[in-house]
Copies of this chain bind each other. A is one copy, B any other.
Amino acid sequence: MTQEPGGAGTNHFGGFHIQAGPLSDQDVARVELADEIRAMIREIISTDATIAEIRQVRDLVRSGVESLVAKSHAGAQGMNEAALAERSKNFLARSPVLGTINPIAVPLVIAVLQEGANATVEGRITFTEPYEGAPGCVHGGFIASAFDEVLGVAQSASGQPGMTANLTVDYRSPTPLLRELVFRGWCEKVEGRKIFTRGTLHHGDTLCAESSGLFISMRPELFERLLAMRNSNQ
């Protein structure tokens, strides 16, 4: 695929599977702040600090939030073509699963091993304590989230990127926190606008979960409708 993300007449999701290019200096600063927030989230869960100590930290964070709220938020005023192109370029960096900028994301680190009809991707992730479900295990819902993203990148790398129509996850074995996990995802077949994908999750040699995903490649008019809906929401 050589099309430019966000270019006129192209599929606006065209760049989805391409790793974000070099981040802008501003985005690098966002990642630095996001990493501190990740550390803070682990502390909130695990600290035994006193109430007064926790409230001191709360006040520190609140003053930081207030200083940012008072500053510019041009991106929130609706998206023009340039903003859309910029956004497409940094789509991955803002994802709640892959995004280094987004503290909701661990994040998962993903590599496209092969493009085209047999597209294959691999993702690596070490979930921390805030993602715990059963004791010591990754929350099953976040395993599903990661599969959605891994299979989404795989189907995007097939050349006809779209949106998830069905996601199925079979949980085979408890998935440990604080251990490196490996997700694999690949395209199985393409039928018209339907892209069929499958994936696995391993910890070492242990198969922890399997998944299949059906994606429907997106018509340009749907993308326009979503953008209109997005702007009317603001």
CB–CB A60/B60 < 8 A: yes
Instruction: List, in ascending order, chain B residues with CB within 8 A of A231's CB.
Output: 136
Assembly CA distance A74 to B146 (angstroms) = 31
Instruction: List, in ascending order, chain B residues with CB within 8 A of A45's CB.
Output: 94, 101-102
Nearest chain B residue, comparing its CB with the CB of A76: B46
Flag whether A178 is at the interface (Cβ < 8 A): yes
Closest Cβ–Cβ distance, residue A67 to chain B (whole Å): 6
Instruction: List, in ascending order, chain B residues with CB within 8 A of A54's CB.
Output: 26, 29-30, 32-33, 68
| Chain A 179-218 per-residue mask, 1 if CB under 8 angstroms from chain B, else 0 | 1000000000000000000000000000000000000001
Oligomer: number of copies: 2
Flag whether A123 is at the interface (Cβ < 8 A): no
Instruction: Among A29, A152, A168, find the residue whose CB has the most chain B CB atoms closer than 10 A.
Output: A29
Closest Cβ–Cβ distance, residue A159 to chain B (whole Å): 18
Question: Which residues of chain A from 54 to 105 have a CB within 8 Å of any chain B CB?
Answer: 54-58, 60-65, 67-69, 71-76, 79, 94-97, 101-104
Instruction: List, in ascending order, chain B residues with CB within 8 A of A157's CB.
Output: none
CB contact under 8 A between A55 and B68, given known A41-B102, A136-B230: no
CB–CB B41/A55 < 8 A: no
CB contact under 8 A between A164 and B171, given known A74-B48, A141-B148, A142-B96: yes
CB–CB A67/B57 < 8 A: yes
Instruction: List, in ascending order, chain B residues with CB within 8 A of A113's CB.
Output: none
A residues with CB within 8 A of B: 13, 25-26, 28-30, 32-34, 36-37, 39-41, 43-51, 53-58, 60-65, 67-69, 71-76, 79, 94-97, 101-104, 130-137, 139-142, 144-149, 152, 163-171, 174, 176-179, 218, 223, 226-227, 229-231, 233-234
